[in-house]
Amino acid sequence: MTLFAAVFSHYRRHPLQLAALALMILVATTLWSGVRQLTEQARTSLSQSEQVIAGREQVVRVDGAALTVSDFVTLRRAGLCVMPWLEVPRQGDVGLVIGVDPLAAACFGGAGGAFGNSQIRLEGEPFVDISEAARMARELPAAEPPPSLALIAAGEVTADAVPAGYRLADFSRGPDTGELGESFLLNLDALGILVLLITALLLRSVYRLGIVQRRDSFALLHRFGVPPAQIDRWLVVELLVLSALCILPGLWLGSWLAGLLGQGFGRSLEGLFDAPLYAAPGQWLAPAFTMMAVVLVACLADFLVPGAHRLAGSRGKGKLAGGFLVTGLVLALLSPSLVWVFVAVAIVFAGAGLLTPALINRLADRAADASADPLSRWRYRELAVMARQLALPVVALQFTLAMVLAIQALVTTFEDTFDRWLGQRLEAELYVAVPEGRSGEAAARWLTSQPELQTSGVWHRVIRGRGSVSVSGSAPTPVDLFALSPVSSLVTSWDLLDAEDDPWATLTRGEGVLVNEQLARRLELGVGDRIALEVAGQQLNLPISGVYADYGRPAGEILISGALLPEQFRPDFESFSITPGTLTRAELIRGLEAVWQVSGMTVRDNEEIRALATGVFDQTFLLTRAMTVLTLTLAALALLVMGWVFFTGRNWYFRLLATWGLSRREVAAQLTRLSVGLTGSVALLALPLGIWLTWVLVHRINPLAFGWSLPMAVYPGFWVELIGLSLLIGLGIALLMGRQLRAGAALPVSASSLTGGER
Amino acid sequence: MNQPVLEARDLSKTFASGAERIAVFSGLSVSLAAGQSLALMGRSGSGKSTLLNLFCGLERPDNGVITLLGERFDYREAGAAGQQEKRWARLRRRQIGVMFQEANLMPALSLLDNVRLRARLAEQPLEQCQTWLERLGIGELAERYPDQVSGGQRQRAALAMVFAMNPDLILADEPTGSLDRRTAEEVTAELFRLQAETGVALVLATHDPELAEQCQVTLDLAHGNQAGPAP
């Protein structure tokens, strides 16, 4: 037998351990690389949107019709420098590609910035030649979203130069959302890193267990003349081989996962930040090396940093844990940025990780001392031993449970709040968008003239455009402007986060404005603060009458009375929200079609919009939920494997109980009480950590990442479910061990090896 | 002769080794009365530990009948294993003290707690536990843990556990096998002294002829299945 075979022989006897290691590396790689691929892709998209699109203008048809090649020809013949921009969804894949015409872009010249010939790389990431994009568009199946063509105008194109039938419009996909898009991705990055840390912890625990079991073999090899350094080298080789074998399929699975979640994620990104998900290349090398480094560090930290384990075992552990907890809690409360909040979470988790096994150990020992019944005393002492020996997987399970609890609370709170909020926003039965080039004013006059609507129905008109806000002479901040006319009862039932006595009456009189939470937070505005609002060149100085919750995009919004809009204001978009009462939908449509002189007008049922919006927000959390469920499964499996391995080592002592006259069922009951006691304790200790994490997510991370906060809510029903799940894991360990007991028990390695570790 | 504590008739036991079965012993019969001691002799693998396991129901023979303290276990009949297991468990709990060569103690409990645990399972008074440790000369070590005492002291604690349950039969599987000669002699002396005092029946598996000589009856598993008087 070669030395290599001797070193590896351990896994021939313990194939489950090898399988557990391989599975953990595989799953950790899949989860982390999948999320990383999505966030990298989204980050690239945000950055490209910012660099290429922001501030640009496009030429659109006044009649609102879709642009065609003939429009392009007409505009170019009129001497306008425009370039076609064709966005095509990638068939069967995530993201968009953008077809551009480098020849057409040539007129953008040096001032064209990113459109300069040399700066556009037509490699599909996301740009391709427009002919290629057109080919892709033709091959799109009907189910895919349709391609969209825009004509981007060069910077020097002015409104006067645009021929009749066309007009200039902003090409930016939405107002500036500050750093929120990046914060959103940072949020996902942090989740990915947390998952990576938890899996690294589990990996380390399983690997260390194997190393402890192999110590005698290594000592024997050493006595046979093999230098310890050579054995260490083989261990590194062993890990590298295992990592390589598991990381590569893990990366492939991660790419598959990203593809699976990508479409929903892309919709979320577009819904939240108006940034579409463009195609981005899948990277292999950097994630592979990162994962390999994580595996090596997790497993070989003791070799790499001698003395690291002594820190964990030092007497000052309690003080260290306390210090971590206090520092982390204070930092989480006071930190000004998202990065520091994540650092605070990491510090608190480190403190909890140090404290938990020690706490279970201490409590179990106390319970043993207080117990008069020798059998109970034995059980408590065994529990204390388990807490110490299974410290790593116990902590990993605690972290995972806390994370699941917090995310579940966040998502459930969000669903409840969002549902209520959406119900208020979509209180009207119907939603009618004013067609491009048609008059909202004329439609409003017609609606006012309908007696059925006045007596039995209710409606309001929303005029949407852009404005800017400045506070105390500060630089103007662009905002989305919503002018209401009239201010109907469809809006006055909105829940406001903060408001003066009768904010809607103030708004109706034009004596105040309402702002959304995002803007209030960003500019640190409150009720009563005065803002300078610039609309179409006119300055309005108004107080804030209320702050409304807005769980949509992080854009700043401002709500004013339609009466305040100056003559020269040109809306980007107008719509009507209508509950028609006794007026039938058909009569309403006929009336509006007559006013606008259009046929086939679309009237949308708000219930449909509600379902659509709920779908987008569900997608936002799909990734988060998928990751937490997978991590929980992994943590449960790891504890199951570790518990099983631990109990195998203590099998003999359970056999002793049988020798002393406990029936098989009684021994199994003792075993069950022990394992369930451990996992139950972990779940109980995960609760405070999970509740704290919920608070951090709701009150610290969410406002920083999305611009809005949620009410803090706890869900004891879900706690019970999680505790139940933990107890099931404990039961699983007991069942596995019960099988082991029936197979017979081996003596401990030797009676003289009754070391302190066994008690 | 008194009513036998243990009576085994025509016991057979085989083990599977691949496709074939290897006989450990067959047609073995033995009888032991209260206060008597029986030494099981034989080489490693001759079936000493297996026979002890049969005598306390931890293993099942292929055939034969075991009567222990009036309870009859007939292995010639198929079935009823579950019921037998419960009866064996009850006997082990209250009337059969089992002692192994090593690892007789729970590592997470002190010596005293180990003795108390065994006495509690046998429904014996816990107050006597400290006394048993003292009678075995380790009273001052009562609060120590198994890894904090020597091998000899651990085996004395194991003896205290066995006697604290006030058994009718002690099955000792090479109880001094892991000890040095002098310590082994001390532990053995304690075992025989207390056995004589309490009148408990003792079955001792050993490959040490000197130890076997101290028993009243010897059964050499290497040379036949008949129990005979000690030389």
Reduced 3-state DSSP string for B27-63: EEEEEEECCCEEEEECCCCCCHHHHHHHHCCCCCCCE
- ipTM score of the complex? 0.89
- For A726-750, the pLDDT digits (tens) are 899 889 888 887 777 776 555 444 4
Residue B165, min C-alpha distance to chain A (Å): 10
A551: in domain = yes
- The residue from A566, A590, A607 where one domain ends is A607
B166: in domain = yes
**Secondary-structure percent of chain A, ordered helix, strand, coil, rounded to 5:** 65, 15, 25
Question: Does A759 have pLDDT greater than 70?
Answer: no
A526: in domain = yes
Q: pLDDT value at position A137?
A: 77
Contacts 24+ apart (CB under 8 A), A442-449: A442/A595, A442/A596, A443/A576, A443/A592, A443/A595, A443/A596, A444/A485, A444/A576, A446/A591, A446/A592, A446/A595, A447/A576, A447/A578
- The residue from A553, A583, A607 where one domain ends is A607
- The residue from A572, A607, A642 where one domain ends is A607
Length of chain B: 231
A232: in domain = no
Q: Which has the minimum average pLDDT: A532-536, A671-675, B222-226?
A: B222-226
Question: Which of A286, A259, A241 is CA-nearest to residue A25?
Answer: A241
Number of domain units in chain A: 2
Q: pLDDT value at position A676?
A: 92
Average pLDDT, chain A: 79
Q: pLDDT value at position B226?
A: 45
Q: Assign A532 to helix, strand or coil.
A: strand
Measured between alpha carbons, how far is residue A180 from residues A74, A267, A556, A582 in Å?
40, 17, 12, 45
Q: pLDDT value at position B158?
A: 93
Instruction: Quote the CA–CA distance of A395 and A354 in Å, as a whole number.
Output: 8
Question: Residues 58..97 of B with a Cβ closer than 8 Å to A: which?
Answer: 58, 85-86, 89-94, 96
Instruction: Quote the CA–CA distance of A169 and A72 in Å, as a whole number.
Output: 16
A455: in domain = yes
Q: Enumerate the residues of chain A whose CB falls inside 8 A of the CB of residue B94.
A: 661
Percent of chain A with pLDDT over 70: 80
B83: in domain = yes
CB contact (8 A) between residue A751 and residue B91: no
Take residue A556 and report the two structure tokens written for it: 């700043």
Instruction: Quote the CA–CA distance of A293 and A290 in Å, as a whole number.
Output: 5
Supply the range of the domain harboring residue A96: 55-170
Q: Which has the minimum average pLDDT: A189-198, A429-438, B110-119?
A: A189-198
B86: in domain = yes
Region at B8 (left for phi over 0; alpha for psi -120 to 50; beta for the rest): beta
Number of domain units in chain B: 1
Interface of A with B (CB under 8 A): 373-375, 377-378, 381-382, 384-385, 652-653, 656, 658-664, 666, 747-748, 750-752, 754-756, 758-759
Take residue B183 and report the two structure tokens written for it: 């310590």
Find all residues with CB under 8 Å of A36, minimum gap 6, and list them: A189, A192, A254, A287
The residues with which B72 forms a beta bridge, in sequence order, are B67
Question: Does A117 have pLDDT greater than 80?
Answer: no
Q: Which has the minimum average pLDDT: A132-146, A170-184, B205-219?
A: A170-184
Using an 8 Å Cβ cutoff, are A403 and A628 in contact? Answer: yes
CA A568 to centroid of chain Cα atoms: 42
Average pLDDT, chain B: 87
B224: in domain = no
Find all residues with CB under 8 Å of A359, minimum gap 6, and list them: A685
Residue labelled with tokens 């047609």? B27
Instruction: Give the CATH number of the domain where residue B94 resides.
Output: 3.40.50.300
CB contact (8 A) between residue B103 and residue A662: no
Q: pLDDT value at position B91?
A: 93
Q: B1 vs B70, which has greater pLDDT?
A: B70
- For A406-422, the pLDDT digits (tens) are 878 877 887 787 778 77
A614: in domain = no
The average pLDDT across A689-711 equals 84
- Please tell me which of the candidates B90, B104, B107 has its beta carbon nearest to residue A758: B107
The average pLDDT across A662-691 equals 90
Angle of helix A664-695 relative to helix A651-659, nearest 10 degrees, comes to 140
B227: in domain = no
- Given CB atoms, is B135 within the 8 Å cutoff of chain A? no
Residue A393, min C-alpha distance to chain B (Å): 21
Q: Which residue of B has its CA nearest to A652?
A: B103
CB contact (8 A) between residue A660 and residue B178: no
Question: Does B166 have pLDDT greater than 50?
Answer: yes
Q: Which residue of A has its CA nearest to B178?
A: A751
The residues with which A431 forms a beta bridge, in sequence order, are A577, A604
Q: Which has the minimum average pLDDT: A274-283, A388-397, A717-726?
A: A274-283
Supply the range of the domain harboring residue B209: 4-218
Instruction: Fill in the DSSP letter of residue A204.
Output: H
Q: Assign A221 to helix, strand or coil.
A: helix
The average pLDDT across B49-70 equals 91
Q: pLDDT value at position A101?
A: 77
A131: in domain = yes
Question: Does A42 have pLDDT greater than 80?
Answer: no
The average pLDDT across A598-613 equals 75
Using an 8 Å Cβ cutoff, are A436 and A460 in contact? Answer: no
A316: in domain = no
Take residue A453 and report the two structure tokens written for it: 């609507």
- For A514-568, the pLDDT digits (tens) are 999 888 988 889 999 999 998 888 888 999 999 998 876 667 899 999 989 888 8
A206: in domain = no
Measured between alpha carbons, how far is residue A194 from residues A189, A342, A624, A641, B211 in Å?
9, 10, 12, 21, 63
| Interior angle at CA A240, CA A234 and CA A241, nearest 5 | 90
Q: pLDDT value at position B174?
A: 87
Q: Which has the minimum average pLDDT: A182-196, A236-250, A662-676?
A: A182-196
Helix/strand number for chain A, H first, E second: 23, 16
Q: A32 vs B12, which has greater pLDDT?
A: B12
